[in-house]
Structure 1
Amino acid sequence: MSSPAMAARNTLRRSLLYVPGSSQRFLDKSRSLAADCLTYDLEDSVTPHMKAEARSLVRRAIDQPTPSNIRKRAVRINSVDSGLALGDLTEVLQSPNLTTIVIPKVNSASDLTFVTDVINHTLAQQKNQSPEARPPISLSPLSNPLNPLTNLTQICSSTPLLQGLIFAAEDFALDLSITRTPSLTEFLFARSAIATAARAAELPSTIDLVCTAYKSDKADGSPPATLEEECRDGRRLGFNGKQCIHPTQVKTANAIFGPDEEETRWAVRVVIADEKAAAAGRGAWTLDGKMIDVPVAEKARLLLGRQLPVGLMLRSCRKSGSIRSLNRAFFL
Structure 2
Amino acid sequence: MRSKLFVPGGRPELFAKALAGAADALSLDLEDSVLDTMKAQARALVAAFVASDEAREAAKLIIVRVNSPDGEYFEDDIRAVARDGLGLLNLPKIETAAALRQAVQAIEAAEQENGVATPIRLLVNIETPRALAHAAAIAVADPRVAGLQLGLGDLFEPHGIDRADRANVHAAMFTMRMAAAGAGIFAVDGAFADIDDTEGFMAEAGMARRLGFIGKSCIHPRQIALAHAVFAPSPEELAMARRVVAAAREASETGRGAFTVDGRMIDLPFLKRAQAIVATAR
| Shorter-normalised TM range | 0.7 to 0.9
Q: In 2, distance between residues paired with 1:43 and 1:228?
A: 26
Q: Equivalences for 1:31-180 in 2 at 5 Å?
A: 31-65=19-53, 66=55, 70-93=59-82, 95-126=83-114, 129=115, 131=117, 136-144=119-127, 146-147=129-130, 151-180=134-163
**Partner residue of 1:241?**
215
Answering whether residue 272 of structure 2 is matched by residue 292 of structure 1, we say: no
Q: Which has the greater radius of gyration?
A: 1
1:246 and 1:55, CA in 2 relative to 1: closer, same or farther beyond 3 A?
Answer: same
Percent identity at matched positions? 28
1:148 and 1:75, CA in 2 relative to 1: closer, same or farther beyond 3 A?
Answer: closer
Q: Which amino acid aligns with 2:112?
A: A
**Partner residue of 1:196?**
178
Deviations 1:252-286 (A, max 9, x none): 21232134332121012123335556748684646
Q: In 2, distance between residues paired with 1:113 and 1:130?
A: 19
1:175 and 1:111, CA in 2 relative to 1: closer, same or farther beyond 3 A?
Answer: farther
Q: In 1, distance between residues paired with 2:276 and 2:170?
A: 28
Deviations 1:227-268 (A, max 9, x none): 222221110122111011011111221232134332121012
SS of 1:165's equivalent? strand
Q: Which amino acid aligns with 2:265?
A: I
Q: In 1, distance between residues paired with 2:151 and 2:193?
A: 13
Deviations 1:64-112 (A, max 9, x none): 122766421111011122232111111112x433221111122112332
TM-score, normalised via structure 1 length: 0.75
1:74 and 1:157, CA in 2 relative to 1: closer, same or farther beyond 3 A?
Answer: same
SS of 2:92's equivalent? strand
TM-score, normalised via structure 2 length: 0.87
Q: In 1, distance between residues paired with 2:86 and 2:277?
A: 24
Cα-Cα RMSD: 2.7
Deviations 1:165-210 (A, max 9, x none): 00010111134332321x432222111011111011100x211131
Q: Determine if contact 2:4/2:27 at 8 Å carries over to the other structure.
A: yes
Q: Which amino acid aligns with 1:172?
A: L
Q: In 2, distance between residues paired with 1:148 and 1:303?
A: 31
Answering whether residue 274 of structure 2 is matched by residue 303 of structure 1, we say: yes
SS of 2:191's equivalent? coil
Task: Mark the runs of 5 or more structure 1 residues left unpaired by the alignment.
Answer: 1-12, 218-223, 312-332
**Partner residue of 1:187?**
169
SS of 1:105's equivalent? coil
SS of 1:82's equivalent? coil
1:271 and 1:177, CA in 2 relative to 1: closer, same or farther beyond 3 A?
Answer: same
1:23 and 1:147, CA in 2 relative to 1: closer, same or farther beyond 3 A?
Answer: closer
State which of 174, 179, 194 in structure 2 corresponds to 1:213: 194
Deviation at 1:303, TM superposition (A): 3.0
Q: Determine if contact 1:33/1:70 at 8 Å carries over to the other structure.
A: no
1:236 and 1:83, CA in 2 relative to 1: closer, same or farther beyond 3 A?
Answer: same
Q: Determine if contact 2:244/2:261 at 8 Å carries over to the other structure.
A: no
State how many pairs are aligned.
Answer: 280
State which of 245, 264, 280 in structure 2 corresponds to 1:271: 245
State which of 203, 219, 228 in structure 1 corresponds to 2:202: 228
Task: Mark the runs of 5 or more structure 2 residues left unpaired by the alignment.
Answer: none
